[in-house]
């Protein structure tokens, strides 16, 4: 069967909700043993339970990706129990603001999760992938990695770093048969988007949802499962010739929005 992940173990950060949850569910459906790393215990455990109820294999680990000791402990445990084949660096946080209304604490918070979190996970996983001479790493970047967006200074900084880390890791570990790629979504419809609209535009939710949807030339937001399907391809054996590449999935935003 094409795109099968049978007998493969995947570590997915931020897997309790949104895009991460969709990746966990999709990978489990395709036969992977899924390990969910998330700070939200309720969401992470719920995702793991849902997968188990559908005859999949999933385990939840409460983990702060910004702390290397936390990450290393979990990854070491997974490696001992089942080995590691795939790492999905999906955990991330957002921030709205230009440089004038971004303070030092904001920058540190974005760096710690979006940049250092990716660094911590890759650094902890690499020795195990090298030992088995192969594996796949997917980093969740963003259209903000390559396109200037208004009021996204700190976020763009962090996602630009994710993109260039992807290129560096892909180059450094060619001889170890470790493939590393990134995915750059535009706006994806998740509970976070709904919460943002409700908080900032009370009474105008429908109007703002349509306005935000139309910022993508295709006329709508992406769906979490669409991002998950791209991740599935990139982690499958069918993508064995693909490394060191960023994959926009953006409804035409980057190329068609001028």
Our measurement of the distance from residue 227's CA atom to the centroid of its chain's CA atoms, rounded to an integer in Å, reads: 9
> What φ, ψ does residue 212 adopt, rounded to 5°?
-65, -35
To the nearest whole number, what is the mean pLDDT of the chain?
A: 97
Question: What contacts 45, CB < 8 A, 6 or more positions away?
Answer: 60
User: For residue 202, is pLDDT > 80?
Assistant: yes
pLDDT band at 257 (very low <50, low <70, confident <90, very high): confident
- Which of 68, 155, 167, 173 does the annotation list as catalytic? 155
The stretch 58-70 carries a mean pLDDT of 98
pLDDT band at 200 (very low <50, low <70, confident <90, very high): confident
pLDDT single digits (tens) 100-147: 999 999 999 999 999 999 999 999 999 999 999 999 999 999 999 999
Whole-structure pTM value = 0.96
pLDDT single digits (tens) 72-109: 999 999 999 999 999 999 999 999 999 999 999 999 99
Rg of the chain taking only CA atoms, in angstroms = 18
pLDDT single digits (tens) 1-55: 899 999 999 999 999 999 999 999 999 999 999 999 999 999 999 999 999 999 9
Our measurement of the distance from residue 177's CA atom to the centroid of its chain's CA atoms, rounded to an integer in Å, reads: 21
pLDDT band at 192 (very low <50, low <70, confident <90, very high): confident
Tell me the sheet residues that pair with 88. 12, 138
Rounded CA separation 99/197 (Å): 23
Active site residue 201: no
Q: Which whole-number Å values give the CA distances from 36 to 3, 18, 105, 235, in the listed order?
A: 20, 13, 28, 16
pLDDT band at 258 (very low <50, low <70, confident <90, very high): low
Question: What contacts 69, CB < 8 A, 6 or more positions away?
Answer: none
């Amino acid at each position: 069967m094409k795109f099968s992940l049978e007998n493969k173990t995947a570590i997915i950060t931020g897997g309790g909700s949104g895009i991460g949850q969709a990746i966990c569910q999709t990978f489990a459906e395709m036969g992977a043993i899924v390990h969910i790393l998330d700070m939200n215990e309720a969401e992470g455990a719920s995702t793991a339970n849902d997968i188990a109820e559908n005859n999949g294999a999933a385990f939840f680990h409460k983990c702060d990706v910004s702390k290397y000791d936390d990450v290393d402990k979990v990854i070491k445990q997974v490696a001992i129990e089942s080995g590691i084949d795939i790492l999905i660096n999906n955990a991330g946080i957002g921030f709205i603001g230009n440089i004038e209304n971004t303070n030092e604490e904001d920058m540190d918070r974005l760096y710690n999760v979006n940049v250092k979190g990716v660094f911590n996970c890759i650094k902890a996983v690499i020795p195990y992938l090298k030992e088995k001479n192969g594996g796949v790493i997917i980093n969740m970047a963003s259209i903000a990695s390559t396109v200037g967006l208004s009021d996204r200074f700190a976020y763009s900084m962090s996602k630009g770093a994710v993109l260039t880390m992807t290129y560096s890791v892909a180059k450094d570990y060619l001889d170890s048969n470790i493939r590393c790629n990134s995915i750059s979504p535009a706006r994806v419809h998740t509970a976070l988007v709904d919460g943002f609209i409700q908080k900032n535009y009370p009474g105008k939710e429908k109007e703002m949802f349509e306005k935000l949807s139309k910022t993508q030339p295709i006329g709508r937001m992406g769906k979490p499962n669409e991002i998950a399907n791209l991740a599935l391809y990139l982690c499958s054996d069918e993508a064995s010739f693909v490394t060191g590449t960023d994959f926009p999935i953006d409804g035409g935003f980057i190329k068609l929005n001028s």
